[in-house]
Amino acid sequence: MNAVREPRRAPEPEKTRRSEPRKVGAWREHHAWSMSISLRRLGARPLGTLLTVAVMGVALALPLTFYLLLGNVQRMGDALGRNQSISAFMKPGQNAGMAETAASALRGRPEVADIVVRTPKDGLDELAEVQGFSGALQSLDANPLPYVLSVQPKPGLSAEDIGRLVDSMKATPGVDMVQDTGAWRQRLDALLGVGTRAVSLLALLLGIAALLVVGNTIRVDIQSRSAEIGVLLLIGASRPFVRRPYLYAGIWLGFLAGVLAVALAVVLELALAGPVGRLAAAYDGSVSFGGLPAWLLLSVPFASAVLGWLGARLVSARQIRRAAAA
């Protein structure tokens, strides 16, 4: 009986003899296919894709916008704080010599860039320029204003340095009181520090939200394709092969969302540039509106693609295992 059943060789499957280049070829084919099929599937569900991209894009655009605003407040603070001086009012009755002595004592300090001694007459002239005061000033018999030392600190000093300078000014003989007109700058810096921290935290939270949005979209997608996954596994697909198109889908969604976020941020930037520029000009002509840096705009889509990939990774292995078991 065995004789009548002529033994024949099974056909040599074309894929069994696999040399290294062949393996690399297969790897490349798998990726090329996964990349294109994932794109086509996203295109086949335009509304769902659009919604996911929109939600994720807006989530990423928010921290970008806050970053933009914060950056501009910082710029304005820098520009406005540039010419802030600290004034030391001499005790009444002090003469020019005493003021000069106090000034030269302070000039030696490392924090000081320049000191201008303003006489009571300078002060009076300044006041006279302010409308409405001139009449009142003319009725005075003597000049009631003290000598004032206008101290210009070196640029880039920390709040502690300024504090030390103010203390030493207060301790200088003949000085009555010290007024730090630049103190708002320190408070602004502190506020900006809080703001930066808040924006970083917000970016982190919204980044996680974006990741979860993609993860959920991919999860639902895998769920709806459990029959297909079962067939693929039965005809010899490996789990990584089955998973790959979903990872690519995550990457595409993330990338598109990143592009949308950048587009939104740029639109906001253009909308804000005018009003902020005018506001800045009203304070000091040297202040201008600062946009988001190019490196940031260029890197957002890629960072967002990584987020999408992570989101897809997070859910796909588990979800495919479930689909395979079903």
Partner 1 sequence: MPSPQNQHHIPYPLGLHGPTGDAVIGFDLVSKRYEGDHQALTDVSFSVEAGEMAFVTGHSGAGKSTLLKLLAMIERPTNGVVTLDGRKLNTVRPAEIPKIRRKLGMVFQDHRLLLDRSVFANVELPLIIAGVSPADRGRRVRAALEKVGLLSYEKQLPEALSTGEQQRVGIARAIVAKPAVLIADEPTGNLDPQLAMEIMGLFAEFQAVGTAVLVASHDLMLIKRMKKRVVVLDHGKLVADVPAMEVV
Q: Does residue 13 touch partner 1 according to CB under 8 A?
A: yes
Residue 316 CB, shortest distance to partner 1, in Å, is 17
Using an 8 Å Cβ cutoff, are 87 and 178 in contact?
A: yes
Q: Does residue 21 touch partner 1 according to CB under 8 A?
A: no
Residue 217 CB, shortest distance to partner 1, in Å, is 18
181 DSSP 8-state letter? T
Q: Does residue 19 touch partner 1 according to CB under 8 A?
A: no
Q: Does residue 298 touch partner 1 according to CB under 8 A?
A: no
Q: Does residue 17 touch partner 1 according to CB under 8 A?
A: no
Residue 315 CB, shortest distance to partner 1, in Å, is 21
Among 3, 15, 129, 130, binds partner 1 (CB under 8 A): 15
Residue 2 CB, shortest distance to partner 1, in Å, is 7
Q: In what order do the strands lie in the sheet with 148-153?
A: 112-118, 148-153, 86-90, 175-180
Which among 70-78, 109-117, 235-243, 307-315 is the span making contact with partner 1, rule CB under 8 A? 235-243
The set of long-range contacts for 59-62, using a CB threshold of 8 Å and a minimum separation of 24, is 59/206, 59/207, 59/209, 59/210, 59/213, 59/257, 59/261, 60/206, 60/207, 60/210, 60/257, 60/258, 60/260, 60/261, 60/300, 60/304, 61/260, 61/261, 61/262, 61/264, 61/265, 61/268, 62/202, 62/206
Residues that bind partner 1 (rule: CB under 8 A) add up to a total of: 35
Q: Which is nearer to partner 1, 9 or 130 (CB)?
A: 9
Q: Does residue 325 touch partner 1 according to CB under 8 A?
A: no
Strands 148-153 and 112-118 come out as antiparallel
Among 35, 79, 209, 237, binds partner 1 (CB under 8 A): 237
DSSP, residue by residue, 48-82: HHHHHHHHHHHHHHHHHHHHHHHHHHHHHHHHHHT
CA distance 324 to 314: 17
Q: Does residue 33 touch partner 1 according to CB under 8 A?
A: yes
Which among 18-26, 164-172, 288-296, 297-305 is the span making contact with partner 1, rule CB under 8 A? 18-26
Which among 19-27, 48-56, 263-271, 289-297 is the span making contact with partner 1, rule CB under 8 A? 19-27
Q: Does residue 177 touch partner 1 according to CB under 8 A?
A: no
CA atoms within 13 A on the CB side of 53: 23
Among 142, 235, 294, 325, binds partner 1 (CB under 8 A): 235
DSSP, residue by residue, 242-300: HHHHHHHHHHHHHHHHHHHHHHHHHHHHHHHHHHHHHHHHHH-TT-------HHHHHHH
* Site residues (CB under 8 A) for partner 1, limited to 241-280: 241
Nearest to 310 by CA among 209, 229, 203: 209
Which among 1-9, 79-87, 163-171, 255-263 is the span making contact with partner 1, rule CB under 8 A? 1-9
Two structure tokens written together for 20: 């290294």
Q: Which is nearer to partner 1, 208 or 317 (CB)?
A: 317
Task: Report the interface residues with partner 1, using CB under 8 A.
Answer: 1-2, 4-15, 22-23, 25-27, 29-30, 33, 44, 227-228, 231-239, 241
